[in-house]
Structure 1
Amino acid sequence: MDKTGVERRHIRVRWWRDDAKTYRQIARFRWRWSAGSRIFLWSRPFGTTDVPVVIGHYTLSGEPHSLSERVVCVDYNAAKADNPLYARIQEPGPRRAVTGTFVCKPNASCRHPAG
């Protein structure tokens, strides 16, 4: 079940989590099903990438930050009026890692995100 009590049969995964060992750790929501913490991933279900990846549509919460060395999300619940959509300015240099700064529309009430 998800946080609202709806039974789910599919999960949205945090595929960027290199450290995930169980389905509970890779699930995008708080999993109330206690057995989920004991179902181990047989292998890393997703390949790695050699280039930075920018994602959206995950409606994350909290301060914008890099999700891993090569993955950054720019959607921190931007569908709500008080939450801006962010962009990431990539610094010049090697393109194998996410570097740079989060920015949002001028005059928007941006949080002060981590680099």
Structure 2
Amino acid sequence: MQSQSQSPYAGPQYVVAVPPKNSKATRALVWGIVCLLINPFALPSILAIVFGVQSRTTADQMERAGLVDSGRGRATAGIVLGCIGAAFFVLWMVYYVSQVILPRVSG
């Protein structure tokens, strides 16, 4: 009979549940592509960045669990495209305000 201290298991074993695939990474990439084509109120850019950051966290968990296809590349591409789309949106807003709004206000 084995005693409690000689058990091969030191303590309770925990299993972390990870999703089988990272669908948020695909959403981030799709929203990143959309934000380069059309970007009303920078909403697609924001969605690409948010989904990208969330899916990077999921990718970390999946890689720790030993899954190969974690979606890290799609998530990173979504974040990068979302940032580029947001930068284009800001530049467009600066141009619009300086060329359209300010001349009407000044007169």
Greater relative contact order (Cα 8 A, min sep 6): structure 1 or 2?
2
Hey, which of these two has a bigger chunk of strand by percent?
1
TM-score bucket of the superposed structures, by smaller chain: under 0.3
* Structure richer in helix, relative to its length: 2
TM-score by length of structure 2 reads 0.23
Larger Cα Rg: Structure 1 or Structure 2? Answer: 2
